[in-house]
Amino acid sequence: MTTVPERVPLLHHSLEALLAQTYRPDRLILWLYDMILPDGARIGAGYLPDNLLALQAQGLEIRYCRDVGPHTKLLPAWAQFPAAAIVTVDDDTLYPPEWLGELVTSWQAQPDVIHCQRAHYITLEDDGLSVRPYPEWQTGAPGRLGPDHRLFATGHGGVLYPPGSLHAELTNEAVFRQLCPTQDDVWFKAMALLQGTPVRKVAPDSRDYPLIPGTEVRMLWSQNESGNDRQIRAVFAHYALLPLLAD
């Protein structure tokens, strides 16, 4: 997990839900970088809010890294723990106690695919030569369990990435900052397609989880749908991904 300054005051709610999972992860890591909080305090200069310090005693690890935007939720962990299955989460979501155990059970049944609680189904134009705009994808992909290359895992539900499931281009910062700077889900999906790794949902119907009140600030997917589609088109064109959806 990573976060943005505006959400730090409420971040403990999501972290407490993760620490209360019935299936305990090997480690729970919050990746932080040099940031100025709304109250003017500066994280990265020896300061942490008391509510985060208290959670360290319960098993939370806080590590510092360079800010690479929303991609920070996965990239430093992917580099430091290459043999581990890594689960990404959003910082604005309350996950129920059984959430992680369900992901792990799904992964144990099919260890070579990406697992998620929530996904959309990528739809194509009638001629099959291009991807439809994001708002025209099949929201929640009802009834579609997978594994399927056209399932698009969304970070809100949490995503489990097995080791080796993403292409080495994942860490090409120059490219993702140019083509896909704010849509980490798009970038991670592109890297799964390049690696030939399909996506499977835990259940045929996607799960939605409650958001923490007050965390609506900087909900990137909702800011600019046309901007989202520009990034999708740019990444798909750069890596010639369309044929890989049918593999």
- Domains of the chain (ranges, CATH numbers): 5-246 (3.90.550)
pLDDT of residue 221: 43
Which residue's structure tokens are 């695919």?
Answer: 113
Q: Quote the pLDDT of residue 216.
A: 66
What is the Cα–Cα distance from 238 to 176, expressed in whole angstroms? 11
Which segments in the chain show pLDDT lower than 50?
220-223
The pLDDT, as a whole number, for residue 57 is: 92
**Confidence (pLDDT) at 217:** 55
Instruction: Tell me if 182 sits within 8 A of 70, measured CB to CB.
Output: yes
Cβ atoms of 179 and 238 within 8 Å: the answer is: yes
- pTM, whole model, 2 decimals? 0.93
What lies within 8 Å, CB to CB, of 25 at 6+ separation is 18, 87, 100
Rounded to whole angstroms, how far apart are CA atoms 166 and 157? 19
102, HSE (Cβ side, Cα atoms, 13 Å)? 17
How would you classify the pairing of strands 42-43 and 35-36?
antiparallel
For position 163, what pLDDT does the model report? 98
